[in-house]
Structure 1
Amino acid sequence: MPHANNLVAHNAMLSAYAQHGHPQQAMDFFASMPERDLISWNTVLDLSSSTKYPANAKLIFETMPEWNLVSWTAMLAAYAQSGHLHEARELFAAMEERDVVSWTVMLTAYTQAGSSIAEARGLFDAMPERNLVSWTVILAGYAHSGEIDQAREIFSAMPEKNLVSWTALLTACTRRGRVEESRAVFDAMPERSLFAYTAILAGHAQDGDLDRAKGVFDEMPGRGIAAWTAMLVAYARRGHLSKARALLLAMPERDIISWSSMLAAVAHSGDSSGAARLFQWMQMEGVAAERASLLCVLVAVSDAGDLASGCRWFASMELDYGVAPGRIHYCCVVDLISRAGRLDEAEEVALGMPVEERGESPDWCLCLLGAAGSQNDARAGARVARAALEMDPGSSQSFVLLEKLCGLSV
């Protein structure tokens, strides 16, 4: 009896480590246990199945002295959550016993692994019983694949619905641009989460309906950073920069997405000095620079034709901010230098792009080709065209520009 009591206490301790986010302590404690039972093994198996790497779970599963339905389902979940659909199929077929949980885990594997939704539906139809989770998984599968009519059909057939299923349909309609349908779903919801409010707000914002977006924003019982950013983007995209700035100032917290959204709007407006000031403000708040935010500033100064500022910002990316320029940054500054008539310098910058950033696309060459044509510089154009065609012999853009260059005198 004392041994049994010790094992119960040890299993309780092991479960506490596992459930409170201490996986290493759980594994260490399991290794130190003088005796283990199926509950002990299932606890560490379930812990290992929650990662993206099923190899550890498989090792534990194969080491176990015995298995039960919980063990099989945990191993199935490990394959399902890591996208190993083939292994999940094989394990599911080998199971001598299945319940609604194991069927639903297999259904989730189909919907999450990029498999055909038709295969998922076939499995769903074959299920001997279903629960709310099963119905919600197939609903989310249709929603993710963009098959809204089928998602609505499943939603209507559900014997019961909860906040997750309502929100899945709402989000699906919003993402496919069916804003009126998503609004009808939102209005019919018996309860709403912050996520549901944010989804319908984003839908109205993308639809350009600022009044309804602002109405949802004002109605929200609480606002997360996603809702604030969605409203900011709505104003910015419609050219209401003063309202967007005011919202940015009012935000209780700002992340890189909200800063980059505002930077993009200011850059699009052509206010290069405003973009630079906004970037500096972002830096003062301790938000680290990254490629997207730096690109916004670079685009702004490039559109303004400010060669000196553009080159300075480009050089500062790696020197001051530790951010390596990507292909799009190179293209931006090459275009700026080319438009200033300094083709030799633009070509030098373009050819200095790291090979891994160039990729297989000749896009970075095309702005140089266009500049060479507009300035009647056939020699520079021929050099760049040769590089572009070597990268992509079938590029129609390169051939069109090269044809124009052929009319120039060398």
Structure 2
Amino acid sequence: MALHLFNQMLCEGVLPDNFTLIFILTACSHQAPPIEGRRIHVRIMSDVFKIDYLVMNALLNMYSKSRNLEDVRNIFINMFERNIVTWTVMVDALLQHGCREHALQFFGHMQMEGIFPDAVLFSKITTACSESETLFCGKQLHVSLKEMGCESDVFVRAALLNMYGNCGRLEDACEVFSQSFERNVVLWNSLISLHIQYGLDSDALHFFNCLLQESLLPDRVTYMHCLSGCANRADTFEGRKIHLLALNMGSHLDVMLGTSIVFMYGKCSYLEAAWQAFEQLHEHSTVSWNVVLGILAQHGECDKAFHTFGAMQKQGLIPDKGTFVHILSACLGSSALSEGEQFHSYIIEMGFESDVMVGIALMNLYNKCCSLNSALKMFEMMQEHNVMSWNTIVMAHVQCGKNREALQLFIKMLYNEVLPDSSTISITIDACVSESLIETASLLHMYAVECGFESDNVTGVSLLNMYGKLGSLEDACSVFKAFQTPDVLSWTALLTAYIFTGNSLEVLRLYHKMELKGLVAVKTTYVVVLDACADLLDLGTMEEILIRIMIKGLDLDATVATAIVSLYGKFGNLTAGRSIFNNVPERDVILWTAVITMYAQNGHGKEAACLFSEMQDYGLVPNSVTFINLLAACSHAGLVEEGHYFLASMIWEYGTSPLVEHYDCAIDLFGRAGLLDEAECLINRMPFSPRVVSFMALMAACRAQADLDRGARIARHLFCLDLENSVPYVIFSNIILNGRTDDI
């Protein structure tokens, strides 16, 4: 309307004055790009108009809003007169384009021209000093503010607080706040936001209560920060209080604040409340739909996520990149490759395929669905690669057991001048350990130290796992000591290192020490501690740990239940082990294997075989460990036919090639059953070099059957394999006692 009236004014021959031009240029600044504004610019630069620096400031502001930095610079250079507003607009434009150093240079030039900054400019220029490299400049600005008396301005103080916080100087930021006589909601918001940024959510919520005690009314930004803190802590109680407080104080629940409430309930796993909060929003934006999709994907509600995506489209909203990242995450959770491929086609239509985050989501999906080639093609199609995309493709290869290819990709990443982060180093160290490339892993450790990653918990955990598997406890402890603030995963990795080196007693001591530091054990921690209890046969600690696990409901988790079942198996308490197994709602192949092993180790071969049949009915594919324990169970129970069946099933039904351990179990099975010909035939035909264990099993059978000739043959093999082992001599001497042989 304003533009229409302005054009009509010109048509009627009425020349606008400078005030009119300022108003109309301000109206044009809301256009992107400012097409009408550019036309007016051309007109007013003619000799007809006598414009002043205020009009030029309006032009400068218009182009800065359109993010056209070149036009802003040209207008600034051609201005004969500049005031504080001119410089402020110019500095702001540079900051919006990420040109922090140039902004600081312009700030210096301004002062050289004799123009002193005001509070508005000071609050803007401090954002240029929000990195540790520019902290020195920030401190100089702070001194200048004190000298000019601008420090007391509450908006300047908020900017200073953010500057120190973003530079990693939280103490200095808090000091700025404590020295403020006037504290408005903006200043409180900055303080609360910084503490959430530092992961100090409890402190942030404490400051929120302090704000209320000072009789200040929180605004929507305050509520959004506090809801974020509650989400981080998964604190439904506090989150609910803040939600109700926002409603009671009459705070307008716009889309952004309402979406924050939805997000908070979702992070607290309160899905029903999250959905209710979503439905109560007056309008739904793409962002709010994305939050709901993310929550559903995170909690494994994949079908609901697909339905929600359809509902979003019915409302006429166009999905953005974030939408597809969440919906692909839902496909990932349910291994829904066909649905994922459909969304991939949609992504191509929308032109999002080259986006880094969408590409990473697609790579993760294809990798989860065992389609590494598709993941690699997706990676190669991406126009731009960042450290996250490289990490994803390297991790995909590691998860598929292609560790050497993963290391080659890591080298290629370095050649492409992409700097690795702590996650990259962690992934590549894991790949080295899997391939027993210890020297390469050690070099990566040195590189991590040079880059300052050693004290990072992510890299440190991988290093701890590496040295634990190598049995180098001293190196593991050295890595742990380098941590600035060890988290529960770091402690768990240290406990695991002690388990690997057989120090179960120290595991329990360190576990109690971890608890005294206020760290809460996670699933993997309990698994390690239960292993230690099993090694030590420590019933007292075991019962204490089991009570904690059951209070938290973790006994229903398949990983934890596996450890408990294994523990009960070692103690011979089959009833308790079976009870734990029966209560787990989602049983994986590892848990089934654990309960089969429990029965096998305690001499209940038939029960183990029955459980295998149940496992097949459950639709799970047994792994090599499952078959080892089944064959061992058949061996101890004398179930020859069942053993034959399991070995044949492994090869023909499941396409799994037997390992030397499977052959050893089968040899023992035939030997115990007196089928020595079959056992010896198996040794001669196995596609591996027989181990000492293989021959020992057959030799023990020869002793039981008083088969002197066969025993002599086997003894000859054993003496060649292991001269220092006295056991074969003892067994062979026992065979001789039962008879004589002429061929030794």
Please give the range of the TM-score, normalised by the shorter of the 2 chains.
0.5 to 0.7
Q: Supply the AA of the counterpart residue of 2:699.
A: L
Who is 1:92 aligned against? none
Q: Which whole-Å CA distance do the structure 1 matches of 2:740 and 2:379 have between them?
A: 74
* Post-superposition offset of 1:266: 0.7
Distance 1:151 1:313, change over 3 A: closer
Corresponding residue of 2:203: none
Which of 236, 242, 266 is 2:575 aligned to?
A: 242
The amino acid across from 2:593 in the alignment is: S
C-alpha change, 1:41 and 1:232, in structure 2 (3 Å) is: closer
Match of 1:346 in 2: 679
1:17 partner amino acid: V
Residues 275-296 of structure 1: CA distance to partner in whole angstroms, max 9, x if unpaired? 1111111111112233322232
Q: AA paired with 2:510?
A: E
Equivalent in the alignment of 2:511: 182
Matches of 1:212 and 1:263, distance apart in 2:
26
Distance 1:139 1:60 in 2: 23
| 2:651 matched residue in structure 1 | 318
Alignment of 1:252-331 (within 5 A): 252-331=585-664
What CA deviation, in whole Å up to 9, does each residue of 1:67-119 have, x standing for no partner? Answer: 5xxx3x23998688445999xxxxxxxxxxxxxxxxxxxxxxx99954399x8
Q: CA deviation at 1:240?
A: 0.9
CA RMSD of aligned residues (A): 4.7
Correspondences of 1:23-34 after superposition (within 5 Å): 24-30=377-383
CA distance in 2, matches of 1:84, 1:187: 30
Secondary structure at the counterpart of residue 287 of structure 1: coil
1:104-143 correspondence to structure 2 within 5 Å: 113-115=440-442, 120=446, 124=449, 133-134=455-456, 137-138=459-460, 141=463
Could you tell me how far apart the structure 2 residues matched to 1:274 and 1:349 are? 27
Shift of residue 297, structure 1, vs aligned partner: 2.6
Return the alpha-carbon distance in structure 1 between the equivalents of residues 669 and 464 of structure 2. Answer: 45
CA contact under 8 A between 2:565 and 2:581: conserved in structure 1?
Answer: yes
Q: Hey, what's the Cα distance between the residues in 1 that align with 2:679 and 2:482?
A: 62
- Counterparts of 2:612 and 2:678, CA distance in 1: 27
Contact kept, 8 Å, 1:232 with 1:248, in 2: the verdict is yes
**Residue in structure 2 matched with residue 74 of structure 1 by the alignment:** 420
User: Partner residue of 2:557?
Assistant: 224
Instruction: State the distance in 1 between where 2:448 and 2:389 align.
Output: 29
- Residue 214 of structure 1 aligns with which residue? 546
- What is the rounded CA distance, in whole Å, between the counterparts of 2:665 and 2:491 in structure 1? 44
Q: How much does 1:312 deviate?
A: 4.7
- Percent sequence identity over aligned pairs: 21
Shift of 1:229: 1.3
Q: Which moved more, 1:363-372 or 1:210-219?
A: 363-372
Matched residue SS, 2:628: helix
Contact 1:307/1:340 (8 A) holds in 2: yes
Post-superposition offset of 1:165: 3.9
2:697 pairs with 351, 361, 367, which one? Answer: 367
Q: Is the 8 A contact 2:390 2:413 kept in 1?
A: yes
Bigger drift between 20-29 and 255-264 goes to 20-29
Asked if 1:408 is matched to 2:737, the reply is: no
Q: In 1, distance between residues paired with 2:476 and 2:682?
A: 51
Structure 1 residue identity aligned to 2:420: A
Q: Return the structure number with greater relative CO, CA threshold 8 A, min gap 6.
A: 1
Partner of 2:713: 383
**Preserved contact between residue 369 and residue 401 of structure 1 (Cα < 8 Å):** yes
Residue 357 of structure 2 aligns with which residue?
16
**CA spacing shift, 1:11–1:268, aligned 2, 3 Å:** closer
Query: Hey, what's the Cα distance between the residues in 2 that align with 1:256 and 1:307?
Result: 24
Task: Tell me the secondary structure at the aligned position of residue 615 of structure 2.
Answer: helix
One-letter amino acid matched to 1:188: K
One-letter amino acid of the structure 1 residue matched with residue 687 of structure 2: V
Which letter maps to 1:368?
L
**Contact 1:259/1:282 (<8 A) preserved:** yes
Measure, in 2, the Cα distance between the counterparts of 1:15 and 1:330. 48
> SS at the partner of 2:420?
helix
Would the alpha carbon gap of residues 78 and 295 (structure 1) be closer, same or farther in structure 2, given more than 3 Å must change? closer
AA at the equivalent of 1:27: E
Give distance in 2, aligned partners of 1:82 and 1:149.
Answer: 22
Q: Aligned-pair distance for 1:28?
A: 1.9
Deviation at 1:381? Answer: 2.6
Pair 387,21 (structure 1): closer, same or farther in 2 beyond 3 Å: same
SS at match of 1:248: helix
Q: Is the 8 A contact 1:186 1:196 kept in 2?
A: no
Q: 1:381 to 1:156 in 2, by over 3 A?
A: closer
Q: Comparing 172-181 with 294-303, which one deviates more in the overlay?
A: 172-181
Alignment deviations for residues 109-159 of structure 1 (CA, whole Å, 9 cap, x no partner):
x99954399x85x984xx6x9589447745764574466678668767755
C-alpha contact 1:61 1:75 (8 A) present in aligned 2: no
Q: CA 1:55–1:302 in 2, change beyond 3 Å: closer, same or farther?
A: closer
CA gap 1:111/1:266 in 2 versus in 1, 3 angstroms: same
Q: CA deviation at 1:232?
A: 1.7
Structure 1 residues 376 and 254: CA distance shift in structure 2, 3 A: same
Which residue identity lines up with residue 115 of structure 1 in the other structure? S
How many Å separate the matches in 1 of 2:458 and 2:353?
32
Q: Which runs of 5+ in 2 are unaligned?
A: 1-66, 71-320, 322-350, 364-374, 398-402
Whole-angstrom distance in 2 between the partners of 1:392 and 1:247: 43
Q: Shift in Å at residue 271 of structure 1?
A: 1.7
Does the CA contact (< 8 Å) of 2:671 and 2:679 recur in 1?
yes
Structure 1 residue 323 displacement after superposition: 3.8
Residue aligned with 1:189, SS: coil
Residue type of the alignment partner of 1:382:
A
Is the CA contact (8 Å cut-off) linking 1:205 and 1:231 kept in structure 2?
Answer: no
Q: Partner letter of residue 605 of structure 2?
A: S
Aligned residues: 361
What is the one-letter code of the residue matched to 1:371? A
The 3-state SS of whatever aligns with 1:20 is helix
C-alpha displacement of 1:230:
1.4
2: distance between equivalents of 1:80 and 1:338?
46
Deviations 1:164-193 (A, max 9, x none): 445444555566412132123134324454
Q: For 1:115, what is the secondary structure of its paired residue?
A: helix
Q: Is the 8 A contact 1:174 1:182 kept in 2?
A: no
Matched, 1:355 2:687: yes
- Describe the shift of the 1:285–1:112 C-alpha distance in structure 2 as closer, same or farther (beyond 3 A): farther
The one-letter code sitting in structure 2 at the alignment partner of 1:367 is: A
Q: Matched residues in 2 for 1:29 and 1:229: separation?
A: 41
**Residues 339-388 of structure 1 deviation map (CA, whole Å, 9 limit, x = unaligned):** 4444334323332x3232xx253432233333334444333233334444
1: CA distance, partners of 2:643 / 2:392: 51
Q: Using structure 2 for the length normalisation, give the TM-score.
A: 0.40
